[in-house]
Amino acid sequence: MALFTPSRATLWTSYGLSALVVLFLLVDAAVSIFAPHLLADVQAEVGFPSDLSPMLGGIMLVCALVFAIPRTATIGAILITAFAGGAICTHFRIGEIGSPPQLISFALAAVAWLSLWLRDANVRGALASSGTP
């Protein structure tokens, strides 16, 4: 494998995208933990009791923190992808296809992986070789 050294601009872009993902998750987690009443109607629509909101916020907080630490960012991206996948499936279950929450969840996971792909040769190599036998 060739030596991969991202440019300064690529690194800044990568860290900026990571910061956006972390910020989004932290804000969503804060609302879920500290103001769950704001989400009660939305959660009722998808079949979640509102008392689960703080727990969901805690999961988002853990995902954000694991992703924010450079050594564990790949594990964090896996956790974010899993959480986003659950959100997408939840909306499929109630008949919403292509809804804003699904698109946002997909975009969040995609941006998390894009940020890692831009700066991490291991992620880049794994994604590049995943399609070959």
Q: Which two tokens stand for residue 102?
A: 């699904």
**Under 8 Å between Cβ of 87 and 109:** no
**Under 8 Å between Cβ of 20 and 111:** yes
pLDDT digits (tens, 9 = 90+) for 14-60: 999 999 999 999 999 999 999 988 888 888 888 888 899 999 999 99
Q: What average pLDDT does the structure give for the chain?
A: 90
**Confidence band, pLDDT 50/70/90 cuts, at residue 105:** very high
- Structural domain boundaries of the chain? 9-124
Q: Nearest Cα to 79, choosing from 55, 63, 57, 64?
A: 63
pLDDT at position 95 is 86
